[in-house]
A and B are shown apart, each in its own frame.
Chain A
Amino acid sequence: MPQDERDQVDRRTLLKAVGGATATVSIAGCGGSQTTPTEGGDGTETAMDTTEGDEGTETSNEGDESAFEVGVTLGQMDSGLDPHDHAETPTNIIVSQAYEGLMGRDKEGGIIAKLATEWERVESGTVRFTLRDGVTFHNGDPVTSEDVRYSIRRIETEEVGGALPQDGDLAGSKALESVEAGDGEVTVTFGGLNPIVFALFATNGQIMQQSWVENNENSYINRNTNGTGPFQVTDYQSGTSVSYEKYDDYWGEPAAADEATITASSESATRVNQLVAGETDIVTNVPPQEISRVEGSEGTSVSPVPSTRIIFLQMRYDVEPFSSQQFRQAMNYAVDVESIIENVLQGFGEVTGQPTLSQFTGHNPDIEPYGHDPERAEQLVEESGHAGVDITLQTPIGRYLKDVEVAQTAANQIDSLSNVNCELQQREFNSLVQDVTASSIEDRPRFTLLGWGNAEFDAAQTIIPLLTSDGPLTVLKSDEVDSLIQEAQSEPDPEARRQTLRECNQLLHDLAPWVFLHQQFSVYGTSDDIEWQPRPDELIDLWTASPN
């Protein structure tokens, strides 16, 4: 065969082969990962292993027309399913459907019984929990006091759980000394009086099965669950979706939903599109510009709720001009918070005048917010001796609801004072946090917009980290504040402690280490097909959702 003819034949053959190969690759490439984790384990896993493949799992209710299903779209997925190995809200929402603690919270933030039926302080540093009978993990094994002991120690003791970010979430500032597992009860001893120990246990400390944790790798625990909650995970797609089904042997009132799915989209427009198109039932963080679209669509509505997050501008006490109390107060008078709430946040916010929100223990109802008074602000700037000063406000981008717009408006209002020039600097959040959490106060930003969530509903959980001399994020050093907080934290009588915290809040209002802005609202978009009320602690309790 001549050379050119042979080449021609080869080329044709190859073109055909390429065509065939492309088709084959298309089909093969379109295949999902069929992996179903069955590795590891102690034999108990197989009862509740979740599948992790693209095919998903057909649940028992598949095809059942009467099954009630709920879908949620968050802004971000979980950071693994280990309930102790995270410190952020999306993961908490996802694991809380399957895991529970000894205590919990109701819709208003009040403490309720979960796996413990009773709790008492037996000594100043010792508390005892009576465990609920007849509770089982999703693999069918009963919950024992040893499991509870192990879970508490896993969070608080590095030798047991390693370096977990929830370290201190149960013990607070008092180190865990011992946990004793008795017959149907658990006794926990700390290194001293912890007045908010029950508030901490009501928010943190989900219970895991000791043998299940010890017999599995971390990576397995991060993609499977074995809790006691009303839902059990049936399918886990890391970073994409989590599917649940109702746990039939749940100890409490069973969930109305037979199945639930949580997905995420970082784009708020995508979340709203899903809701409006009827593909999901609950979406989080509907931005103000999308509210009219949700309200205007048939079958969807907006459900706002005051959250446990406060937004403020913090000022470093040790540098000029913020070292002047008069100047700090002037900044509070300069910013028109009501206007920000009305015009930037579409009304979804509440003016604050102290670091403690109105639903929290220690809130002082007698404190009035500063109010907008530019003339008074200019006068205080003059009196402080810093007239003509240039300052720069730093703000994170996209961390809090409309953060850049809020900071821009506040900076403009300060800049409009005749004797202060204020500029705005926008910063990527992780980069800003690097500075905000710097070990030395000298390395922290001077004037920054920040937000703080406090799921324990207690004033001390905001004031201690942010406003006491040794707080990891503090911008203030005040012996009076330190002393009042110390007094509150060693006060066993709740009413006396509440009075001390109120006094502390009054002092902080006067010292004005922050420009007190607003209480952020959580704005959910919900389908009219379901009945569900949002809660202030940003948790989404799908077990309370019912068909409408």
Chain B
Amino acid sequence: MSLGRLAIKRSLQGVGVVWGVITVVFALRFITPGSVINAVAPLDASRETRRAIAADLGLDQPIYVQYVQYLADLARGDMGHSYVKGLEVTRMVFQRVPATVELAVAATIVAIVLSIPLGVLSATRRNSPVDYGATLFSLGGISTPNFWLGIMLILIFAVQFNVFQTSGRGVTSVAVLTSLVGPEPFVGTLLEWLSYITLPAIALGTYFMALITRLTRSGMLDELGKSYVRAARAKGAPESLVRYKHALRNTLIPVITVLGLQLGTLIGGAVITEAVFAWPGLGTLVIQSINLRDWPALQGSLIVIGTAFVIVNIVVDIIYGYLDPRVVYD
């Protein structure tokens, strides 16, 4: 199958998956106990007021009418209006996307910067104290729930030592970049940005970091035992060239695959971390929407998260096929 046909096939499958997500999320509201009216109307609202609010929100229509209407609106890029806040959901959701992407990318960077050198070091010094330390670290990273780690980081580095902010977002990365040319001092803006993002990025990226460390270590060990490495060494190639140009490069192919997939997971999986750090991203919006029974906002958030995940998967799938010609897609 050619790459073009693969891309088209995967994209069509992706559309099917996103439609499935939309349908499941839409159906959830009808099987979840409680009513949105209780989130909007006061407890002592009269039956007439409740009925009027339901009619105003279109909730008095049959389910299939609401569903078809929702799909039609969605096709036009309209995710509807929040039941509780009265705002356009499209606006609410996409306003949160940058914060979530920023956190996911920062967590990924934290993970990559630490995990790959650690994995390489661990593999090249196998059974040494460094290897044991790295293995222990990665085991701890995988086993530690990120919400607990987040709380501990806050208590130690924000409350006790007052080095970082406890929560919130503060300045954005764009503000940091614009401070390079603007009147704001660059270093001050950068430090302020770091004071907000460092702890959530570590909390979110630790699991990922541990995963990549293990993957790099096992991949490197695998590659270093292969015949082409022996051949390179036999030719007298320097050890650094053998390790970093040959073995590491081949090890990175599966690592990049996991990186891509994990980025999708980070976008959708930051809900708990965002809640702990009051990070104003999609995860926080999901929690707020659930608490308020704000179904349009919840649907919009989940659709965007689901779509992002599907897109990342498709892209990784295609890149993987391209990177490794041995992979055959039937």
Contacts and interface: CB of A to CB of B under 8 A. Distances in A.
B175 A33 contact: no
Interface string B158-173: 1100100111110011
A29 B107 CA distance: 13
A428 B290 CA distance: 12
B233 interface: no
Contacts of B47: 439, 472
B172 A54 contact: yes
Nearest to A276: B159
Given A218-B86, A223-B87, A165 B105 contact: no
Nearest to B297: A239
B191 interface: no
Interface in B14-55: 33-35, 38-47, 49-50, 52-53, 55
A55 B34 contact: no
A239 B92 contact: yes
A359 interface: no
B228 interface: no
Contacts of B94: 33
Contacts of A472: 43-47
A437 B43 contact: yes
Given A165-B45, A267-B275, A273-B159, A55 B166 contact: no
B88 interface: yes
Contacts of A60: none
A4 to B, nearest CB: 8
Contacts of A33: 94-95, 97-98
Interface string B68-102: 00000000000001101111100110110111011
B86 A434 contact: no
B154 interface: yes
A80 interface: yes
B155 interface: yes
Interface in B223-280: 252, 256, 275-278, 280
Interface stretch (B5-13, B127-135, B281-289): B281-289
Given A30-B105, A472-B47, A237 B35 contact: no
B287 A266 contact: yes
Which residue, B94, B155, B292, has most C-beta atoms of chain A within 10 A? B292
Interface in A160-187: 162-163, 165, 167-168
B276 A267 contact: yes
B45 A434 contact: no
Interface string A109-138: 000000000000000000000000000000
Contacts of B252: 15
Nearest to A19: B256
Contact of A76 (B41, B50, B172, B291): B291
Nearest to B293: A430
A61 interface: no
B254 to A, nearest CB: 13
A77 interface: yes
A14 B166 contact: no
Contact of B101 (A15, A29, A79, A471): A29
Contact of A265 (B56, B167, B177, B292): B167
Given A33-B94, A430-B33, A263 B168 contact: yes
A14 B84 CA distance: 46
Given A266-B275, A274-B167, A433-B34, A239 B175 contact: no
Contacts, number: 198
Nearest to A3: B325
Contacts of A238: 85, 87, 92, 95
Contacts of B187: none
B311 interface: no
B261 to A, nearest CB: 14
A163 B276 contact: no
A265 B276 CA distance: 9
Interface in A265-284: 265-267, 269-270, 273-274, 276-279
Given A31-B98, A54-B172, A433-B43, A18 B319 contact: yes
A20 interface: no
B105 A55 contact: no
A448 B47 CA distance: 22
A32 interface: yes
A32 B98 contact: yes
B109 interface: yes
A471 B43 CA distance: 11
A223 to B, nearest CB: 6
A277 B43 contact: no
A66 interface: no
A142 interface: no
A270 B279 CA distance: 11
B102 A434 contact: no
Interface in B144-191: 151, 154-155, 158-159, 162, 165-169, 172-175, 177
B109 to A, nearest CB: 7
Contact of B41 (A165, A223, A434): A165
Contacts of B175: 32, 55
B55 A219 contact: no
B196 to A, nearest CB: 11
Contacts of A223: 87
A85 interface: yes
B43 A431 contact: no
A273 B172 contact: no
B92 A55 contact: no
Given A30-B101, A76-B291, A266-B275, 14 more contacts: A11-B323, A31-B172, A32-B99, A32-B175, A33-B98, A52-B95, A54-B99, A85-B86, A163-B52, A237-B280, A238-B85, A265-B167, A266-B288, A465-B43
22 contacts: A11-B322, A15-B252, A26-B109, A32-B99, A78-B85, A79-B84, A87-B40, A87-B42, A87-B45, A163-B53, A165-B42, A239-B92, A265-B167, A269-B151, A270-B276, A277-B162, A279-B168, A433-B43, A434-B38, A465-B43, A466-B44, A472-B47
The 9 closest A-B pairs by CB, nearest first: A30-B173, A430-B34, A29-B101, A163-B52, A465-B44, A431-B33, A240-B280, A87-B42, A32-B172
